Structures are given as structure tokens and as C-alpha cells.
Structure 1
Amino acid sequence: MRFAYLAALLVSLAGVAVVDARWRLVLWRDARRGAVALGVGLAAFLLWDGVCIAAGVFVRGDGRWSTGVEVAPHLPLEEPVFLLFLCYLALVLWTAARRVERAVRARAAEPARDAAPARDAGGAR
């Protein structure tokens, strides 16, 4: 049970990667830019965690689902994995939403084919 939460995070991360690969949204579209975006997001969240840990706001609790492994004092191994998952999921969802929005706008901009009057076989209206 100790590694159940970490395993669930890794399976979820893999699922997001499959969606990304299928529709080429983030890392499969531009690996360098995607990795930079993920790295910046992860660094920002880890910095936030560090500040909150130093202020005594975040403390590591003992849970039966936790590995018990700490990357730093009061920073369990699962936390960076969760934050990576969170950043990756957000990027994939954002990119997918923008792609859907562009497709909807492109479809709305197309001339309406059904609006033209029907022609009979002789070409008259």
C-alpha cells in the first residue's frame, strides 16, 4: 500500500502522455518548448512548496498511501510527481481547448454551403 498513491500518479501521468501523443498537443508537438514549460511550472510549484514548508504551513503527514520517502524535509517523493502531473495535465488541456476553439472558429468562418438555393438538373434556380 505504501506505493499506491505514487503508482496512481505515474499511471495518470502516463495517461496524459498518451493523450498528448495521440493528438500531438505538448511534448509530441514541440518537445523542447513543452519541456521548458513543464520545467518552469514544476520549478514554480516546488519553489512555492519550499516557501510554505519554510513558513511551517506545509508539513509532511503520515499516510498509509505515502511512500515515506522525502526528497527534502517535509517534501515527500509524491509531491514533485504530483506537481509534474498537474503541470502536464494543465498544458495538455489548455492546448486541446485552444485547438478546439480554433476549429470552431474556422468552421464558423466557412461559407454556408446549405444557404445557397438548390439548383435543378437544368441549372435554373
Structure 2
Amino acid sequence: MGAAYLVALLISLAGMAALDRRFTLFFWRDGWRAAVTLLVGVAFFLVWDVVGIDLGIFFRGETSFMTGVQLAPELPLEEVFFLVLLCWLTMNLHSGARLALGALAARREGARA
């Protein structure tokens, strides 16, 4: 039970990768740019977490579903995987919305012609 949350995050990340590959959204569109964007986003939120922990705003919840591995006081290992998932999901949604809006605009242009 101690790794259930981490396993769920890894399964979710595999789903993000599958959607990304299927629709050429983020990493499969431009790998280098995607990697830099993802790293910057995760670093930003890790700094955010550390500041929140330092200010006494964020605390690690006690649950049997987590591994118990901490990268820093009150910063569990699973947080990094969650932040990767959050950033990747956001970029997939952004890229998917751009593709959908582009297809809609092209359909409207075709209907006018």
C-alpha cells in the first residue's frame, strides 16, 4: 500500500505520454522545447512548495498510500511526480485546445469558400 499514490501518478504519466504521442501535442511536437518548458514549470512549483513549507503553509499529509520518502522536510517524493503530471497535463491541454481551435477555424474557412 505504501506506493499506491506513486503508482497512480506513474500510470497517469503514462496516460499523458500516450495522449501526447497520439495527438502530437507537446513532447512529440518539439521535444527540446517541451523538456525545457516542463523543467522550468516543475522547478517553479518546487520553489513554490519550498517557500510554502518554509512559511508554514504547506505540510505533508500522513497517509499509508505514500512511500514515506522525503526529499526535504515536508516535501515527499510523490510531489515531484505530481508536479510533472500537473505541468504535462497543462501543456497537453493547451496544445490540444490550440489544435482544436485551429481545426475549427479551418472548418469555418472551408465552409465560407
Length-normalised TM-score, structure 2: 0.96
SS at match of 1:40: helix
Cα RMSD for the two superposed structures:
1.1
Greater length-normalized contact order (CA 8 Å, ≥ 6 residues apart): 2
Deviations 1:66-115 (A, max 9, x none): 110001111000001000000001100110011000000011011457xx
Per-residue CA deviations over 1:2-54 (Å, capped at 9, x if unaligned) read 00000000000000100101111100111000001101110110010010010
Pair 1:95 & 2:105 matched? no
Matched residues, number:
113
The residue identity in structure 1 corresponding to 2:43 is A
**Structure 1 CA distance, aligned partners of 2:32 and 2:40?**
12
Q: Percent identity?
A: 50
Q: Which runs of 5+ in 2 are unaligned?
A: none
Instruction: Show structure 1 runs of 4+ deviating over 2 A.
Output: none
- Aligned amino acid, residue 17 of structure 1: A
State how far apart, in whole Å, the 2-side matches of 1:3 and 1:9 are: 10
Question: Computing the radius of gyration over CA atoms, which structure comes out larger, 1 or 2?
Answer: 1
Structure holding more helix per residue: 2
Q: Taking structure 1 as the reference length, what is the TM-score of the superposition?
A: 0.87
